Amino acid sequence: MIYDSLSLLLMWVAAGTLSSILFFSKRNILKSISVAILFGSIYYTFILTKEWIGRPRYEMPETFVLKGYDVTTIENTRYITVWLNDGVDDLLARAPYDEKSENNLKKAMEKVKKGEPQKGEYKQKNKELRDNSSKSPMIFYDFPIQKVFPKSGS
């Protein structure tokens, strides 16, 4: 399959034209074929756009590079949706809302807007974190670390 907008456009033009011709015929079998063509086109479109857009993730990676965030409410539950790079792809990941994490995200985003990339860590599964509720599960560091710890000989 070719994953580009031109192939999607051409597929819909062909499917629409063929389905229109078949739909206005007098034979019921041809009308049924036109419906099958349209459903096949819809399925192909979903498969194609999944490749373009990706799929959502509902678990946070342990380490990531912060790109942005938003606090959302879904069915009376607050979440932090983070736009991040996990080292492979840019993606959106969702974490339960935590006021300390939001404060850390605000500080990190101020640095990101100034051009200082921020490396994040999510430590929700850490036993020490569960025992000490004063710590935030999301912490951020200045990135790249080479500026903080220069290589020897430079």
- Can you give the pLDDT at residue 127? 47
- The answer to whether residues 92 and 124 belong to one domain is yes
- Please indicate, yes or no, if residue 9 is contained in any of the structural domains: yes
- The answer to whether residues 21 and 67 belong to one domain is no
Three-class secondary structure of residue 43 per DSSP? helix
Q: How many domains does the chain have?
A: 2
- Can you give the pLDDT at residue 135? 65
Secondary-structure percent of the chain, ordered helix, strand, coil, rounded to 5: 45, 25, 30
- Domain interval for residue 73: 63-147
Give the residue with greater pLDDT, 137 vs 134.
137
**Pair type for strands 77-85 and 138-142:** unpaired
- Please indicate, yes or no, if residue 58 is contained in any of the structural domains: no
- Please indicate, yes or no, if residue 153 is contained in any of the structural domains: no
Hey, which bits of 29-133 come out as E strands? 63-74, 77-85, 90-96, 118-122
- The answer to whether residues 72 and 128 belong to one domain is yes
- The answer to whether residues 72 and 108 belong to one domain is yes
0.95 exceeded by pTM: no
pLDDT in tens, 54-113: 556 677 888 889 999 999 898 999 989 898 888 887 888 888 888 998 999 999 999 988
- Can you give the pLDDT at residue 116? 85
- The answer to whether residues 71 and 34 belong to one domain is no
The tokens describing 145, both together, are: 């670390």
- The answer to whether residues 81 and 19 belong to one domain is no
The whole-chain average pLDDT of the chain stands at 78
Residue whose C-alpha is closest to residue 1's, from 35, 39, 38, 50: 50
